[in-house]
Structure 1
Amino acid sequence: MIMTRDRLHTIGWGMALTICFALMMALTVRVNAVKSEVRLADRQITELSREKMLLDTEFQTRASQQQLTAFNDVDFGLEAPKPAQYLESERQLAVLGKAPSPDAPPQIRVASADADGRPGIVSAVQPLAGRIIGSAVAGEVPRDGVRKPLRASQLEDRLSQVGSRIAERAE
């Protein structure tokens, strides 16, 4: 079988196209592989930049802590609390208080419950005005059914006796 020149020419072009197509496919696969590597590198760069930001923040935080510690050592002299500094009760805290200044408002006192469970003082005193609001003692109702508010001096007397009543109960 003898091939004609046209036939050889067609086969040659076909082989050339096949080779070009194979090279194009290989090149496409290679380009996609490089694109994939570029995307992976881009993700790694993004991840590393986030990690760098976290490390920068951590470094700045620690640096500011060291700076604050240095300020505290030089300027303030503050220390962490020690177990001996904690108080066991409110009374120990009250002992540490200082005497009120002459222009200080009077202290607000709280009443405690009596032995029968009734509150000792029900009325409230407006701290700024010193006026009594409400009734004086729970359960104490005059015969006419109308409760009279205590005067400030009476209320002061009653409040000053609350501590002595508590001491009597404790004995």
Structure 2
Amino acid sequence: MTAPARYRRFGWLAVLSVCVVLYVMLHLKVNAIHSEVVQAEREIVRLERANMMLETEFLTRSNQVQLARLNRINFGFRAPEAGQFIDGERQLAQFSKPRADNAPAPIRLAGLTSTDAVPAFPKLVSPLTGEPLDAALVEGAPPEDGEVARSRGTRIGLGEGTGQVRIPLASLHGELGQ
């Protein structure tokens, strides 16, 4: 290869590398400007929403003022005063009309107060077996730690400190079939 051809090759290589560097710089500049445009658009949208919210609030408040003016001037309405409130049911009942002749009788409630002996509540029965439940279980007597309760030969394991009761389903299945 001759010297001028070599210089020409290096020249083209230098021009190509300068073009690549300029392209990369231009590409980075375009991306930076694109990011700024996107941020500006988001800011515009945010400001438009804030503007719309302020316009809505302004219109709402101006409508409230206009409604208050209409109520006061045209209709004579005012805010309620303390004397306009009632104290209880008796004062409310004073506003009622007398009962009409054809009106149904009012519903009256009465409580039972009796000195007679009230029958005892029936014993709780297990829905699975039909037998009465243990009194300790019904009354909620807490078992001692580590104790295993027994109910009709079925072992019921108590979870220590968890408040959970584990009942083996296999033992219940045998009782259900009987």
- TM-score scaled by length of structure 2: 0.54
Corresponding residue for residue 167 of structure 2: none
Structure 1 stretches of at least 4 aligned residues deviating more than 6 Å after TM superposition: none
Q: CA-to-partner distance for each residue in 1:12-49, whole Å, 9 max, x for gaps?
A: 11111111111110000000000000000111111111
Corresponding residue for residue 113 of structure 1: 110
Q: 1:107 to 1:71 in 2, by over 3 A?
A: farther
Quote the offset at 1:76 in angstroms. 1.9
Matched, 1:34 2:33: yes
Cα RMSD between the aligned structures? Answer: 2.6
* CA distance in structure 1 between the aligned counterparts of 2:49 and 2:79, rounded to whole angstroms: 35
* CA distance in structure 1 between the aligned counterparts of 2:62 and 2:102, rounded to whole angstroms: 46
Quote the offset at 1:83 in angstroms. 2.5
Greater percentage in helix: 1
Q: 1:28 to 1:4 in 2, by over 3 A?
A: same
| Percent of aligned pairs with the same amino acid | 36
Corresponding residue for residue 9 of structure 2: 10
Corresponding residue for residue 71 of structure 1: 70
Instruction: Summarize the alignment of residues 17-56 of structure 1 with structure 2, pairs less than 5 Å apart.
Output: 17-56=16-55
* CA distance in structure 2 between the aligned counterparts of 1:108 and 1:68, rounded to whole angstroms: 44
Corresponding residue for residue 95 of structure 2: 96
- TM-score scaled by length of structure 1: 0.56
Quote the offset at 1:113 in angstroms. 2.3
